[in-house]
Structure 1
């Protein structure tokens, strides 16, 4: 005689398929973890490279040379009351990858954004290399008015991004200040060229062509747009922008 074995504990539906799917999910997870393709593993590798300690170049003759590793530092303002001034202290230029991209990829996406932070410790995201704009001039002294590139690896060994900028348009500008945007790209073009000028505008013509001393306050201009590199301290978030006003940068 047949007996009714149904009870609330009996599984209904495609329970066998669900078990196989769970096993496939687990196999896929273990395979990605073994190959290092999990999102958290990619994110950790990217952060490890960006925060990797770097060694700045030491000048033996007191001058800046092509190939030197430097930090771009915006010195602190004099202590005085200024309306709307949010950012105080020394601010260093650093790369800031897109937040979503950092969770999806273990490499830098281009174009890459820039910002300024108060840290003065050289790491992968704020250490730049001075590169020649023409033929290889590694080791030669950098002079006022001479074209050069500012490259950054972000802690990676086989990747070089170049500091670039272009004219402001209705569709392309800095996110917060709406001024000329500065970004990092892997394409070499005339938009990567920069020049250094003497700090005192009354003496700039006289110092044209002279070597640049290490740790000297200078003004860095974009060769194509003739705008000075600056940090806007009136914004609550630290974005690197271009401004026509002369703000000091320290090599």
Structure 2
């Protein structure tokens, strides 16, 4: 008599669609743990999307510049803007580029405000905001608020809305092993040599006697854009929205807007460094020509 397979032993009844195979219980527990972790991070505001939203709100907060005047005053809130950007196949007339603070993707998880881990770039500036506005303070330890800034006078650039411990813009020479003392995500080069980058430092660190960053590294001064007029213009008041050269006092390198584009959280922006760019006539080219804008718009030509 031939053998017959019972219904209990048939494959169709043994494995039905509702039968779970594999580590289904472990996978279910893992999904529940992920959802619980997501809800907990959402309630505490630790989600990356919420941190990014808070970051943009903090960095893009609008700032009121100093009252429009023909001269730059110590203590005024200003923008540092290149006169123009000579970029091939790119119209930069409507960009209104300005020196700006940018945060990298790794530091966004720990802080959503301006801190020492932030870097500096030249970014399009539709309006003055926290990231592209700076306060001019005296280069010495005296309070010179309200005085007119002059050619050759040392000054410092302080981030707007800094806490009790202000954050200053600085640059530094290379170390003994020729490595950079400021760590940045991207670097620009001139003839194969890496340019000096810019960084941010708290004021309390430069005032410490045994600190790693001397206070002189935060000092800057301005020169006349015409080399033939620099000697006679020394000590004269600094005009606003006029071409000039901004020099880092410790390294004698000029503030330079590089024609190198990098991608940031705020979009494509240009690199900035401390490097001297001159033509055959020993005159600074467009990379080293800036203007200090306080909202008083004049026709700046170079």
Matched, 1:96 2:102: yes
Secondary structure in structure 2 of the residue aligned to 1:27: helix
Residue in structure 2 matching 1:33, options 36, 42, 53: 42
**What is the aligned partner in structure 1 of residue 54 from structure 2?**
45
Q: Does the aligned pair in 2 maintain the 1:43–1:105 contact within 8 Å? A: no
- Whether contact under 8 Å (1:43, 1:104) holds in the other structure is no
SS at match of 2:106: helix
Q: Secondary structure at the match of 2:100?
A: strand
Conservation of the 8 A alpha-carbon contact between 1:182 and 1:242:
yes
- For residues 112 and 42 of structure 1, the distance between their equivalents in structure 2, rounded to whole angstroms, comes to 15
Question: SS at the partner of 2:222?
Answer: strand
2:155 is matched with 148
RMSD: 3.1
The 5 Å alignment of 1:14-25 reads 22-25=31-34
Q: Does 1:175 align with 2:201?
A: no
Structure 1 residue 100: Cα displacement = 2.9
- Tell me the CA shift for residue 110 of structure 1: 2.2
Equivalent of residue 135 in structure 1, options 142, 165, 174 = 142
Higher mean C-alpha deviation, range 97-106 or range 239-248: 97-106
Aligned to 1:248, which of 289, 292, 300?
A: 289
Is 1:202 matched with 2:218?
no
Q: 2:201 aligns with which of 168, 185, 193?
A: 185
Q: Which runs of 5+ in 2 are unaligned?
A: 1-7, 207-214, 263-269, 278-283, 293-302
Q: Against the structure 1 CA distance between its residues 43 and 32, is the aligned structure 2 distance closer, same or farther, given a 3 Å change threshold?
A: same
Checking the alignment, whether the CA contact within 8 Å between 2:169 and 2:201 is kept in structure 1 is yes
Aligned to 2:171: 165
Bigger mean CA deviation after superposition, 196-205 or 169-178: 169-178
State the alpha-carbon separation in 2 of the partners of residues 23 and 121 from structure 1.
45
Give the 3-state SS of the residue equivalent to 1:232 in structure 2: strand
Which string of whole-angstrom CA distances, capped at 9 and with x for unpartnered residues, describes residues 112-147 of structure 1? 221112334212111111012222222222122111
* Residues 236 and 24 (structure 1), Cα distance of their counterparts in 2 relative to 1, 3 Å cut: closer
- The 1:156/1:11 distance shift into structure 2, 3 A limit, reads farther
Identify if the C-alpha distance between structure 1 residues 190 and 19 changes in structure 2 by more than 3 Å, giving closer, same or farther. Answer: same
The structure number with the bigger radius of gyration is 2
User: 1:21-74, CA deviations, whole angstroms, 9 ceiling, x for partnerless residues?
Assistant: 5444433322321221112111111111111111111145x3211211111011
Q: How many residues align?
A: 242
Q: Which runs of 5+ in 1 are unaligned?
A: none
Q: Deviations over 1:76-123 (max 9, x none)?
A: 268xxx9x6867445311112213323554234524221112334212
Q: Contact 1:113/1:183 (CA < 8 Å) preserved in 2?
A: yes
Change (3 A) 1:128 1:109: closer
Q: TM-score, length-normalised on structure 1?
A: 0.81
- Asked if 2 retains the 8 angstrom alpha-carbon contact of 1:129 and 1:151, the reply is yes
- Look up the match of 1:117: 123
